[in-house]
């Protein structure tokens, strides 16, 4: 009887994509059950009835049935087949075993396919798939020993070795019940792993996958990408044996917002509970998230034991704030805060610190900082940079960072820049400084204030005949808090005309200009110096160069060798300038960039006389296939045709000459030589030498040798020498110590003073999904002022950074340092 009934194969989505029922076997009267099937919108197709034979399954993966030989036998594999009465397998063609979505063909979106060793059930009511049961809909694949699929409610009940996969997400456990279309239901005692892509922290960085998972007594599906778990864990470590995890009585995972919420939770590391939280939010893909941050702990001899417990407030995607109470055993309780904001046309950062009473000094101590940048219009840009502290010793007493502790001039400025077109722009600047004098024996000079500075600059490279025109001008009102330094106004205009001639293999650029300056100086009435000064200085230069190339072979390597000679002639007229104060002028450091510049000095208060020729040659060895530079050698020298008459010396208000330098009388400047390149496998050398041929002595010599065979493997040896000033030996490096341990160090020794000026020593351990770092830092701003600090950090990847991070310090101090994991930053839970 059963063999005479047609087999009905269910294939489309039964709930979300209803279609009209086509009916039963031709000519048959519609039965009540068939009518019910039609009312549910189940699409059925008629399959020609065939006799089947009993075939025992040889392997579950083999879904191809044998040829039918007899009626009443069980099929080796069947599709989702039902009859109007008692279930009867049919020898209809069946689909092969569906593969996961990522590895093969899947059903059309919305279609549902079920396969198993045995399938039984009632049409339009319930299908029972037993033995290697599989249900696939789109990217979702549900497998189990036994599956019950209820068509009217779109519910799948799975028992025994249940596994649910969708994309790269995977869950497994003993049993589950899921309403497929609504993504609701529950999973008993699951093991779960959910993968999401974290956006790059910095522009240009690649995105990275974050794999979070854990176990629970029960996991509830509460809609697409929404989960809630009881007695659950979550970690970015291996699910089976995590080194750290969040353990919570109740946990919600919202993968739409990529945020988790843990109630009655504990962070556990290596089986040891670190801290308990009644309620906490944490990121599921490493993004910023509000919450109390794990404490930062440190020690230094200036603050004592140092404990900070920040709270991070993620106000909006483009606004956040951090409030940081900080307790220092030697200083007291400090409150700090930072607010960051960003819009389409602006961004900024506001920071403040307040210590009501320093236990050592008995004084109130404060810090404030504001940085703001904004495009006011498409052509108008503005910025603010305001910084201040309560006293001269603030950074030395309360910071363990040498770059901060050595700050002496805190900038305070506002700036506007207007770009009128591609060829001209204008700007306005108001600028002053707070000058700190932490050492009473060494007074720091306060820079002049600019109240304001107005600039107008233009450049037209498209004039007839190939001429280029440039215009640089400014008006500045200088003011100084010290009455011994006169206030003044200065106007500068520097029109220039040049004719660049560029051809294949060579170039020549003649240029002429006139540097005009006018001063109005507010001098003491008793002073004998000029208070109104006008200065016009013609400047003529010719810059030229050539490039030669040839194919060569050095040390068995084919290269392209270049020879690039360059000549630069400069003629600048002499004008007397010693009665002009130094408002913003200082001497340039001597180097390859400076020997091709028009002036020995920065600023406009000194325009050095010149009648000189600079000659230099550069040779490069270049890889002919990649264009990468292998080695470079530079040699240059300046030749003078007249003595130096303009110096940075000046007369002060009392008429006394302040001597800053001695005028040059020789005809030759120092010789500059430089080298950079690869000298051996994974080994580079960089060196700069400044030689004084007049006195036959070295004025300056710097060299750095680096060996870097791979990631987190670097050794550096540096020597720095400056005559009468500096003679330092520097050793730094990072190297694997074995067993996932890494060592890092830097030692800077002053050979001139025979003392250690800076020392860093640390170890790191990479646990795969966590990193621990311990570092010690010692630095001396002078011989008698030494600061010592200890950094201890535990970083749980993509979750938390506990302790004080030494990463930025090490990056600045150890060239070639490789961060052994991607830093979690300070935004915990979440990254900065």
Instruction: State pLDDT tens for residues 556-586.
Output: 889 999 999 999 999 999 999 999 999 999 9
Q: What count of residues does the chain have? A: 832
Residues 596, 618 contacting (CB under 8 angstroms): no
d(CA 828, CA 796): 10
Confidence of residue 648 (pLDDT cuts 50, 70, 90): very high
pLDDT at 89 over 90: no
Q: Once rounded to an integer, what is the mean pLDDT over residues 256-280?
A: 88
| Residue 165 resides in a domain | no
Q: Do 50 and 75 share a domain, yes or no? A: yes
Question: CA 449 → CA 142, 430, 435, 446, 583, distances in Å?
Answer: 73, 8, 12, 9, 9
pLDDT at 289: 66
Q: Which of 94-98, 157-161, 710-714, 818-822 has the lowest mean pLDDT?
A: 94-98
Q: In angstroms, rounded to a whole number, what is the distance separating the alpha carbons of residues 754 and 729?
A: 11
- A 10 A CB-CB count for 121 gives 21
Q: From residue 183, how far is each of 111, 186, 259, 581, 832 by CA, in Å? A: 16, 10, 19, 78, 33
Q: How many helices (H) and strands (E) does the chain have?
A: 4, 51
Both 495 and 415 in one domain: the answer is: no
Smallest CA-to-CA distance from 686 within 721, 719, 712, 722 is with 719
Query: Mean of the pLDDT values across residues 473-485?
Result: 93
Closest CA to 567 of 639, 498, 514, 502: 639
Among 43-57, 177-191, 412-426, 778-792, the least confident range: 43-57
Residues spanned by the domain of 297: 288-450
b/e map 512-550, b = 16+ CB within 10 Å: ebebebebebebeeebebeeebebebebebbbebeeeee
| 39 pLDDT more than 60 | no
Residue pLDDT, tens place only, 592-640: 888 999 999 999 999 999 999 999 999 999 999 999 999 999 999 999 9
Residue 76 lies in a domain: yes
Q: Which pLDDT value is given to residue 608? A: 96
Q: What is the pLDDT of residue 200?
A: 62
Q: Per mean pLDDT, which range of 62-66, 385-389, 669-673 is the poorest?
A: 62-66
Do residues 87 and 235 share a domain? no
Query: Residue 401: what pLDDT?
Result: 55
Q: Indicate whether 73 and 212 sit together in one domain.
A: no
CA distance 780 to 813: 15
For residue 147, being part of any structural domain is answered with yes
Same domain as 769, residue 687: no
What's the rounded mean pLDDT across residues 85-93? 33
State whether 19 and 77 are in the same domain. yes
pLDDT digits (tens, 9 = 90+) for 296-339: 777 888 888 888 888 888 888 899 999 999 999 999 999 999 99
Q: Residue 147 CB: number of other CB atoms within 10 A? A: 28
Total number of domains in the chain = 5
Q: Are residues 534 and 585 in the same domain?
A: yes
Rounded Cα distance, 246 and 232, in Å: 8
pLDDT of residue 515: 98
Domain end (from 153, 168, 202) = 153
Question: How confident is residue 275, by pLDDT bands cut at 50, 70 and 90?
Answer: confident
Distance CA 292, CA 682 (A): 45
CA atoms of 15 and 153, how far apart (whole Å): 8
**Residue 460: how many other CB atoms lie within 10 Å:** 13
User: pLDDT value at position 786?
Assistant: 82
pLDDT of residue 306: 87
Compute the chain's Rg from CA coordinates.
39
Instruction: Indicate whether 221 and 277 sit together in one domain.
Output: yes
Most confident of 89-103, 202-216, 748-762: 748-762
On whether residue 166 sits in a domain, the answer given is no
In a domain, 463, yes or no: no
Q: DSSP readout, 556-579?
A: TEEEEEEEEEEEEEEEE-----TT
Question: What DSSP state is assigned to residue 6?
Answer: P
Q: Is 172 inside any structural domain?
A: no
Asked if 515 and 549 sit in the same domain, the reply is: yes
Question: Which residues, 6 or more positions from 725, have their beta carbon under 8 angstroms from its beta carbon?
Answer: 752
Nearest to 714 by CA among 729, 699, 731: 731
In a domain, 164, yes or no: no
Q: Are 100 and 165 contacting, i.e. CB atoms less than 8 angstroms apart?
A: yes
φ, ψ at 402 (rounded to 5°):
-65, -35
C-beta separation of 455 from 483 below 8 A = no
Model confidence band, residue 201 (pLDDT cutoffs 50, 70, 90): low
φ, ψ of residue 818 in degrees (nearest 5): -115, 125
Structure tokens at 791: 């950094």
- Residue 466 sits at φ, ψ, to 5 deg, of 80, 10
Residue 176 has pLDDT above 70, yes or no: yes
**What six digits make up the tokens of 251?**
């946990």
Average pLDDT, the chain: 83
- d(CA 138, CA 105) in angstroms, rounded, equals 10
pLDDT band at 708 (very low <50, low <70, confident <90, very high): very high
- Asked whether the beta carbons of 701 and 723 are under 8 A apart, the reply is no
The stretch 401-420 carries a mean pLDDT of 82
Q: How confident is the model at residue 527 (pLDDT cuts 50, 70, 90)?
A: confident
Name the pTM for this structure. Answer: 0.71
* The predicted structure's pLDDT at residue 110: 64
**CA contacts within 13 A on the Cβ side of 515:** 19
Shortest CA distance to 793 belongs to which of 757, 819, 814? 819
Lowest-confidence region among 278-287, 310-319, 485-494, 688-697: 278-287
Q: Where a domain ends, among 242, 268, 287? A: 287
Distance of alpha carbon 84 from alpha carbon 90, whole angstroms: 13
Q: What is the structure's pLDDT at 24? A: 36
What number of CA atoms fall less than 13 Å from residue 18's CA on the CB side? 13
Inform me whether the pLDDT recorded for 511 exceeds 70.
yes
Confidence at 160, pLDDT banded by 50, 70, 90:
very high
Question: Which residue from 82, 85, 81, 80 is spatially nearest to 32, judged by alpha carbons?
Answer: 85
Question: Is the pLDDT score of 232 beyond 90?
Answer: yes
Torsion angle defined by CA atoms of residues 242, 246, 248 and 253, in that order, rounded to the nearest 10 degrees: -100
Residue among 251, 24, 51 at smallest CA distance from 123: 24
User: What is the pLDDT confidence band of residue 535, given thresholds at 50, 70 and 90?
Assistant: very high
pLDDT score of 188 more than 90: yes
Check residue 19 and give its pLDDT.
33
pLDDT in tens, 337-348: 999 999 999 999
Judge whether residue 551 has pLDDT over 50.
Answer: yes
Contact 17, 53 (CB under 8 A): no
Q: How far apart are CA 431 and CA 446, in angstroms?
A: 12
Structure tokens of 604?
Answer: 């406009």
Here the CATH number for the domain that contains residue 201 is 2.60.450
Q: Which of 101, 125, 153 is the last residue of a domain?
A: 153
Q: Are residues 278 and 293 in the same domain?
A: no
Structure tokens given for 89: 């397998």
Q: Percent of the chain, pLDDT > 70?
A: 82
pLDDT value of residue 807: 83
For the four alpha carbons of 481, 484, 488 and 492, in that order, the dihedral sign comes to negative
Q: Is residue 547 part of a domain?
A: yes
Residues 434 and 529 in one domain: no
Q: What is the pLDDT of residue 84?
A: 31
Examine the domain organization and report whether 717 and 696 are in the same domain. no
pLDDT of residue 597: 93
Residue 202: CB partners within 8 Å, gap ≥ 6? Answer: none
């Amino acid at each position: 009887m059963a063999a005479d009934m047609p087999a009905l194969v269910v294939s489309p989505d039964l709930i979300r994509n209803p279609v009209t029922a086509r009916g039963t076997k031709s000519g048959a009267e519609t039965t009540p059950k068939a009518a019910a099937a039609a009312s549910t919108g189940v699409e059925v197709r008629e399959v020609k009835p065939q006799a089947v034979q009993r075939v025992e399954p040889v392997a579950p993966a083999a879904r191809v049935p044998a040829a039918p030989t007899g009626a009443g036998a069980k099929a080796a594999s069947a599709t989702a087949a039902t009859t109007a009465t008692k279930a009867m397998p049919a020898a209809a063609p069946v689909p092969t075993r569906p593969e996961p979505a990522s590895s093969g063909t899947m059903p059309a979106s919305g279609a549902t396919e079920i396969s198993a060793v045995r399938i039984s059930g009632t049409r339009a009511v319930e299908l029972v798939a037993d033995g290697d049961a599989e249900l696939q809909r789109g990217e979702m694949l549900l497998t189990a020993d036994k599956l019950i699929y209820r068509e009217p409610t779109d519910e799948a009940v799975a028992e025994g070795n249940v596994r649910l996969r969708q994309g790269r997400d995977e869950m497994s456990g003993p049993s589950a019940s899921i309403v497929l279309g609504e993504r609701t239901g529950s999973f008993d005692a699951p093991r779960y792993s959910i993968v999401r892509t974290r956006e790059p922290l910095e522009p240009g960085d690649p995105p990275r996958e974050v794999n979070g998972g854990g176990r629970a007594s029960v996991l509830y599906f509460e809609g697409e990408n929404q989960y809630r778990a009881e007695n659950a864990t979550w970690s970015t470590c291996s699910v089976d044996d995590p080194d750290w995890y969040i353990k919570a009585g109740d946990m919600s995972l919202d993968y739409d917002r990529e945020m988790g919420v843990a109630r009655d939770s504990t962070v556990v590391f290596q089986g040891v509970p670190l801290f308990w939280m009644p309620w906490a939010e944490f990121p599921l893909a490493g993004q910023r998230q509000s919450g109390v941050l794990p404490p930062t702990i440190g020690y230094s001899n200036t603050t004592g034991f140092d404990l900070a417990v920040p709270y991070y407030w993620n106000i909006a995607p483009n606004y956040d704030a951090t409030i940081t109470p900080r307790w220092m055993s030697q200083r007291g309780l400090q409150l700090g805060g930072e607010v960051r904001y960003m819009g389409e046309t602006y961004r900024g950062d506001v920071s403040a610190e307040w210590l009501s009473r320093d236990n050592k000094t008995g004084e109130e101590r404060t810090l404030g900082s504001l940085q703001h940048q904004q495009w006011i219009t498409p052509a108008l840009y503005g910025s603010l940079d305001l910084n201040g502290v309560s006293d001269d010793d603030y950074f030395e007493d309360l910071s363990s960072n040498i770059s901060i502790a050595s700050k002496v001039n805190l900038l305070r400025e506002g700036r506007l820049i207007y770009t009128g077109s591609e060829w001209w722009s204008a700007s306005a600047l108001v600028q002053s400084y707070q000058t700190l004098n932490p050492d009473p024996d060494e007074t720091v000079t306060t820079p002049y204030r600019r109240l304001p500075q107005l600039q107008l600059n233009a450049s037209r490279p498209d004039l007839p005949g190939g001429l280029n025109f440039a215009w640089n001008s400014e008006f500045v009102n200088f003011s100084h808090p010290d009455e011994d330094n006169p206030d003044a106004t200065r106007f500068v205009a520097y029109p220039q005309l040049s004719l660049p001639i560029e051809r294949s293999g060579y170039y020549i650029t003649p240029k002429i200009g006139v540097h005009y300056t006018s001063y109005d100086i507010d001098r003491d009435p008793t002073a004998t110096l000029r208070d109104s000064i006008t200065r016009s200085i013609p400047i003529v230069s010719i810059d030229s160069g050539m490039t030669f190339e040839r194919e060569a072979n050095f040390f068995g390597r084919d290269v392209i060798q270049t020879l690039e000679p360059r000549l630069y002639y400069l003629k600048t007229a002499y004008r007397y300038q010693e009665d002009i104060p130094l408002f913003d002028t200082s001497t340039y450091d001597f180097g390859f960039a400076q020997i091709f510049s028009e002036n020995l000095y920065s600023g406009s208060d000194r325009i050095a006389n010149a009648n000189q020729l600079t000659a230099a040659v550069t040779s490069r060895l270049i890889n002919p296939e990649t264009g990468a530079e292998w080695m470079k050698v530079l040699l240059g020298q300046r030749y003078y045709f007249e003595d130096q008459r303009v110096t940075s010396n000046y007369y002060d208000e009392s008429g006394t000459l302040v001597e800053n330098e001695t005028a040059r009388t020789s005809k030759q400047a120092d010789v500059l030589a430089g080298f950079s390149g690869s000298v051996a496998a994974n080994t580079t050398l960089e060196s700069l030498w400044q030689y004084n041929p007049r006195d036959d002595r070295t004025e300056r010599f710097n060299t750095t040798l680096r060996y870097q065979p791979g990631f987190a493997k670097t050794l550096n040896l540096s020597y720095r020498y400056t005559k009468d000033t500096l003679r330092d030996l520097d050793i730094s490096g990072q190297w694997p110590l074995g067993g996932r341990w890494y060592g890092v160090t830097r030692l800077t020794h002053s050979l001139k003073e025979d003392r250690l000026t800076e020392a860093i020593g640390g170890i790191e351990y990479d646990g795969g999904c966590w990193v621990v770092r311990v570092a010690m830092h010692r630095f001396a701003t002078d011989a008698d002022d030494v600061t010592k600090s200890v950094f201890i950090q535990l970083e749980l990847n993509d979750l938390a950074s506990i302790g004080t991070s030494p990463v930025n310090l090490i990056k600045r101090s150890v060239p070639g340092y490789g961060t052994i994991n991607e830093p979690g930053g300070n935004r915990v839970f979440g990254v900065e």
